[in-house]
Chains A and B, each alone.
With several copies, the nearest count.
Chain A
Amino acid sequence: MDDMTRIDDAIDALLAAHPPATTPPRDFWGAQFDAGLAWVHHPVGKGGLGASPRHLAHVRSRLGEADADQSNLRSNIIGIGMGAGTLLSHADDAMQDRLLRPMFTMEEIWCQLFSEPGAGSDLANLATSAIAEGDQWIVNGQKVWTTLAHVSRWGLLVTRTDPGQPKHRGLTYFVLDMDSDGVDVRPLHQITGEAEFNEVYLTDVHIDDAMRLGAVGAGWSVAMTTLMNERVAIGGNVPERGTGAIADAVAAWQDSDHDDQAMADQLLQLWVEAEALRLTSLRASHARTAGTPGPEGSTSKLHWAELNKAITTFTMQVLGPDGLLMPGGYELTAPTLDEVPVVTPQQSFLRARANSIEGGTSQILRNILGERVLGLPGEPRVDKDLPWREVPR
């Protein structure tokens, strides 16, 4: 029986036994995990069916057609999107069995403790220290930009265990119990007033060595596993034509009494570029399915970030007088898991400034495209071979 048939059979069985309309989402997710339909590319027993990851999109699509709640994919995105793959590659069986199912069912939320105030684009520069003490590690430092930290049970944590090594070496990776003593999560408000992100202060936090992923000193490569999984997690989702930021622009245009061809042409230019980006995502998805991925798969984040800023800025101009306002004002709030916030065009406009910073700045992404895709040479690296502690910062 081929993968596709096995998967379709499993989906049929799942939907028959747990009709989405009448099954509480958490129960459904548990059943979905047990049926191997959480991550079909995981082994059987680990939420998967040992199939190819390119079938992930098919599962989502079929469950979507059946109106199954798939909000866990988004709400626990760090765990389901990135943590699961990392655990699969680097955790032992016991850890996988303990962590994967409650991750998928949203019983336990996950966050990612990578970035630090001094380690943004230069992630490998991180300074949070972990010092071995018996079979425990004592962790001290500060993490930042931690989505979901305020509701998380587990954190994917990278620490520096040997500052005498060059920066990419001497890092070690842990799963941190966010309920541990010494973990202090503080909301980090952004320019919209909201606090999507947090700062996480770690003061003499104890972690069992059993919670380590990968070897001591191999934290960089484990972290790379996590970041690589990000693509898989969001891959395959191609928005429909005219959705997203351009939809707000079109709606604003249609609501306005603008008859100015100059602005109409700007709108059309942005519409065309949004469509080009969408078709590129579609092409990347087709290429992944066909097993012939090319450069089209590497350009979307950069393109999207820059385009999203342009579109949301344009929308403010179309809004005219409403573009002078921030409806509801600036409230310093933190989002909860349940709430689906209503996002105004003004919030989208402000929020978009972060698009070219988060998940790799546009500058870093251009470096990556230039070096890894085009094969252009790197810059002279002044810090690469120096012991981390000797690099000026």
Chain B
Amino acid sequence: MTDTATETSPTRTGAATIQDLVLTDEQATLRDVARDFLGARVPMKRVRELMATPSAFDEGLWQEVAAMGWQAMAIPEDLGGAGYGMVEVAVVFEEIGRAVAPLPMLSTIMATAVLRDHGTDDQRATMLPSIAAGALRMVVAVPVAGADDGVEITDTEAGARLDGHASHVIEAVGAEAVVVATGRGAFVVPTDRAGMTVVPMDALDPTRPLARVEFANVAVDDDDALVGDAGDVIDTARTVGAVMLANEMVGVAAGAHAMAVEYAKVRRQFGRAIGSFQAVKHLLADDLVQLEAARSTAWWAARALAVHDVEEVAVAVPVAASLCPATAAAITGHSIQVHGGIGFTWEHDAHLYYKRASAATLLLGSGRAWRRRLGATLALT
């Protein structure tokens, strides 16, 4: 009954070959190292300690991560980076998600991609090595649809000035620099510059702080300006961010699902493990189906991004970005259900997954927004 079209090559003539949807031995090792590290250094107890602080940021941990080279992964080797590809970055994100770790890696990879594609030579040469070393934390203010945001640029006698604000800026609390789009290009602005204020917002997901970044007569000059159209800068950040967020969501879903499966094996009611009841078993089985489907799209999007296959990216990214957060939100919700009352308590970890996933459904664009984008690509609107 299944379609039996002949095996087709996943790649397209003219584009670099897209990696197979399996982990290479090196990637599997990277995954194992990441999982072990996060399990040891960011256990749930530590997640809870960090999320109780405004920045949810641990400088020591960040330096440990830097020592492992995570911030450097997507940075070319000649700029202090490790020169890995997006597939390897995605492997790490899946593990970050599984650990619900409050590590500002999402903003970092977005900023890295922006500098890589839109930085001046000078910016790249000074900033990327600092990011790679864990010395500079830079975030990108990606506009959130529906938010009343905007940063205006005006020329004064003393030079250009920025006024306005950007809200919901991911992991901005404690960052040293922020990329912001204006009507006249995008800028990298240090957060300690006069007129800059970073105000933490009450985030639904306390493991990923959000902030409102306010600009009051902030001076910028050509050294701060990024290359290219501001829309392109934001699009780079959004695209790379969405792919990594999708991979993170696969980890979040997998973590919550595994927790529910284990609980269903040991929790007994009516004299039986609750996982022996089809009501629970089939819920978890259906979630496995959705989880594996989501993982396939997240992996594929990372692989398309890794080889800069523009045509494939235009399809693969909205597919993963629309599907993975929603899937994670559903699965993490079901995990609470399988745990029953205990899963609804603050002291249980189920809600950490649920909140992380729920926020992700809106963080870099709603599922609907990504489908609109896909519809435009496919001419299906």
Direct contact of A and B (CB under 8 A): yes
Q: Is the Cβ of A320 less than 8 Å from the Cβ of B147?
A: yes
Q: How far, in Å, is B24 (CB) from chain A's closest CB?
A: 9
Q: Is the Cβ of B276 less than 8 Å from the Cβ of A379?
A: yes
Alpha-carbon gap, A341 to B148, bound state (A): 28
Within 8 A of A (CB), among B131-186: 144-147, 167-168
Q: Among the listed B204, B278, B355, B380, which residue makes an inter-chain contact with A366, where contact means beta carbons less than 8 Å apart? A: B278
Q: How far, in Å, is A42 (CB) from chain B's closest CB?
A: 20
- Interface flag for A64 (CB, 8 Å): yes
Q: Is the Cβ of A381 less than 8 Å from the Cβ of B270?
A: yes
Q: Is the Cβ of B319 less than 8 Å from the Cβ of A238?
A: no
Size of the B side of the interface (Cβ < 8 Å), in residues, is: 91
Q: Among the listed A236, A324, A358, A386, which residue makes an inter-chain contact with B271, where contact means beta carbons less than 8 Å apart? A: A386
Q: Is the Cβ of A375 less than 8 Å from the Cβ of B362?
A: no
Q: Is the Cβ of B346 less than 8 Å from the Cβ of A190?
A: yes
User: Which residues of the partner chain B approach A250 to less than 8 Å between Cβ atoms?
Assistant: 380
- 20 CB contacts below 8 A, A to B, read A120-B341, A276-B294, A276-B319, A279-B21, A280-B292, A282-B10, A283-B292, A285-B7, A296-B295, A324-B363, A328-B202, A350-B351, A357-B336, A357-B341, A370-B281, A373-B285, A378-B276, A383-B270, A386-B271, A391-B271
Whether A272 touches B323, Cβ cut-off 8 Å, given contacts A191-B351, A264-B380, A303-B289, is yes
Q: Among the listed B4, B21, B265, B355, which residue makes an inter-chain contact with A375, where contact means beta carbons less than 8 Å apart? A: B265
Alpha-carbon gap, A121 to B167, bound state (A): 44
Q: Is the Cβ of B322 less than 8 Å from the Cβ of A366?
A: no
Within 8 A of A (CB), among B1-42: 1-8, 10, 20-22
- Interface flag for B300 (CB, 8 Å): yes
Q: How far, in Å, is B250 (CB) from chain A's closest CB?
A: 12
Q: Is the Cβ of B289 less than 8 Å from the Cβ of A369?
A: yes
Q: Interface readout for A284-313 with B: 1 if CB under 8 Å, 0 if not?
A: 011101101001100111111000010001
Whether A74 touches B22, Cβ cut-off 8 Å, given contacts A263-B368, A325-B210, is no
Q: Is the Cβ of B380 less than 8 Å from the Cβ of A296?
A: no
Chain A to chain B: the 10 pairs with minimum beta-carbon distance, closest first: A383-B271, A320-B146, A370-B281, A283-B21, A122-B269, A376-B275, A279-B296, A191-B351, A189-B346, A369-B285
Whether A299 touches B293, Cβ cut-off 8 Å, given contacts A317-B361, A353-B336, is yes
User: Which residues of the partner chain B approach A365 to less than 8 Å between Cβ atoms?
Assistant: 285
- Interface flag for A367 (CB, 8 Å): yes
Q: Is the Cβ of A272 less than 8 Å from the Cβ of B144?
A: no
Secondary structure of the B contact surface, majority rule: helix
Within 8 A of B (CB), among A203-262: 234, 236-241, 243-244, 250, 253, 256-258, 260-262
- Interface flag for B66 (CB, 8 Å): no
- Interface flag for B79 (CB, 8 Å): no
Q: How far, in Å, is B98 (CB) from chain A's closest CB?
A: 15
Alpha-carbon gap, A323 to B20, bound state (A): 36
- Interface flag for A97 (CB, 8 Å): no
Stretch at the interface among B67-75, B102-110, B225-233, B370-378: B370-378
Q: Is the Cβ of B284 less than 8 Å from the Cβ of A376?
A: yes
- Interface flag for A380 (CB, 8 Å): yes
Whether A191 touches B380, Cβ cut-off 8 Å, given contacts A115-B341, A381-B270, is no
Whether A296 touches B281, Cβ cut-off 8 Å, given contacts A317-B368, A358-B341, A392-B271, is no
- Interface flag for A269 (CB, 8 Å): yes
- Interface flag for A371 (CB, 8 Å): yes
Q: Is the Cβ of A377 less than 8 Å from the Cβ of B276?
A: yes
Q: Is the Cβ of B340 less than 8 Å from the Cβ of A321?
A: no
User: Which residues of the partner chain A approach B281 to less than 8 Å between Cβ atoms?
Assistant: 366-367, 370-371, 374, 376
Q: Is the Cβ of A361 less than 8 Å from the Cβ of B337?
A: yes
Name the residue of chain A whose CB is nearest to the CB of B28. A292
- Interface flag for A172 (CB, 8 Å): no
User: Which residues of the partner chain A approach B204 to less than 8 Å between Cβ atoms?
Assistant: 323-326, 346
Q: Interface readout for B330-342 with A: 1 if CB under 8 Å, 0 if not?
A: 0001001100111
What total of A-B pairs shows CB separation below 8 Å?
306
Within 8 A of B (CB), among A58-101: 60-61, 64, 73-74
Name the residue of chain B whose CB is nearest to the CB of A64. B6
Q: How far, in Å, is B254 (CB) from chain A's closest CB?
A: 10
Q: How far, in Å, is B378 (CB) from chain A's closest CB?
A: 7
- Interface flag for B193 (CB, 8 Å): no
Residues of chain B whose beta carbon lies under 8 Å from any beta carbon of chain A: 1-8, 10, 20-22, 144-147, 167-168, 201-206, 210, 261, 264-265, 268-282, 284-286, 288-289, 292-297, 299-300, 315, 318-319, 322-323, 329, 333, 336-337, 340-347, 350-351, 354-355, 358-359, 361-363, 366-368, 371, 374-375, 378, 380-381
User: Which residues of the partner chain A approach B275 to less than 8 Å between Cβ atoms?
Assistant: 370, 374, 376-377
Instruction: Given contact pairs A303-B289, A324-B205, enumerate 19 new A-B contacts (beta carbons under 8 Å).
Output: A121-B269, A189-B347, A190-B344, A237-B3, A263-B368, A267-B380, A268-B371, A268-B380, A304-B2, A317-B366, A320-B145, A324-B359, A326-B204, A357-B336, A357-B340, A358-B341, A367-B282, A378-B276, A382-B270
- Interface flag for A24 (CB, 8 Å): no
Q: Is the Cβ of B293 less than 8 Å from the Cβ of A303?
A: yes
User: Which residues of the partner chain A approach B271 to less than 8 Å between Cβ atoms?
Assistant: 381-383, 386, 391-393
User: Which residues of the partner chain B approach A295 to less than 8 Å between Cβ atoms?
Assistant: 288, 292
Q: How far, in Å, is B372 (CB) from chain A's closest CB?
A: 8
Whether A329 touches B202, Cβ cut-off 8 Å, given contacts A61-B6, A117-B342, A303-B289, is yes
Q: How far, in Å, is B166 (CB) from chain A's closest CB?
A: 11
Q: How far, in Å, is B348 (CB) from chain A's closest CB?
A: 8
Alpha-carbon gap, A373 to B257, bound state (A): 13
Name the residue of chain B whose CB is nearest to the CB of A309. B333
Q: Is the Cβ of B280 less than 8 Å from the Cβ of A256?
A: no
- Interface flag for A29 (CB, 8 Å): no
Q: Is the Cβ of B344 less than 8 Å from the Cβ of A191?
A: yes
Name the residue of chain A whose CB is nearest to the CB of B279. A363
Whether A243 touches B5, Cβ cut-off 8 Å, given contacts A316-B358, A324-B363, A367-B281, is yes
Name the residue of chain A whose CB is nearest to the CB of B54. A329
Q: Is the Cβ of B366 less than 8 Å from the Cβ of A244?
A: no
Name the residue of chain A whose CB is nearest to the CB of B19. A286
User: Which residues of the partner chain A approach B289 to less than 8 Å between Cβ atoms?
Assistant: 299, 302-303, 369
Q: Interface readout for A335-376 with B: 1 if CB under 8 Å, 0 if not?
A: 000000000001001100111111101110111011101111
- Interface flag for A174 (CB, 8 Å): no
Alpha-carbon gap, A328 to B201, bound state (A): 9
Q: Is the Cβ of A237 less than 8 Å from the Cβ of B7?
A: yes
Q: Among the listed A349, A359, A362, which residue makes an inter-chain contact with B1, where contact means beta carbons less than 8 Å apart? A: A359
User: Which residues of the partner chain A approach B10 to less than 8 Å between Cβ atoms?
Assistant: 282
Q: Is the Cβ of A376 less than 8 Å from the Cβ of B7?
A: no
Q: Is the Cβ of B288 less than 8 Å from the Cβ of A191?
A: no
Q: Is the Cβ of B345 less than 8 Å from the Cβ of A257?
A: no
A191, A262, A304, A349 pick with most chain B CB within 10 angstroms: A191
Q: Is the Cβ of A366 less than 8 Å from the Cβ of B299?
A: no
Name the residue of chain A whose CB is nearest to the CB of B381. A264
Q: Is the Cβ of B374 less than 8 Å from the Cβ of A268?
A: yes
Alpha-carbon gap, A236 to B2, bound state (A): 12
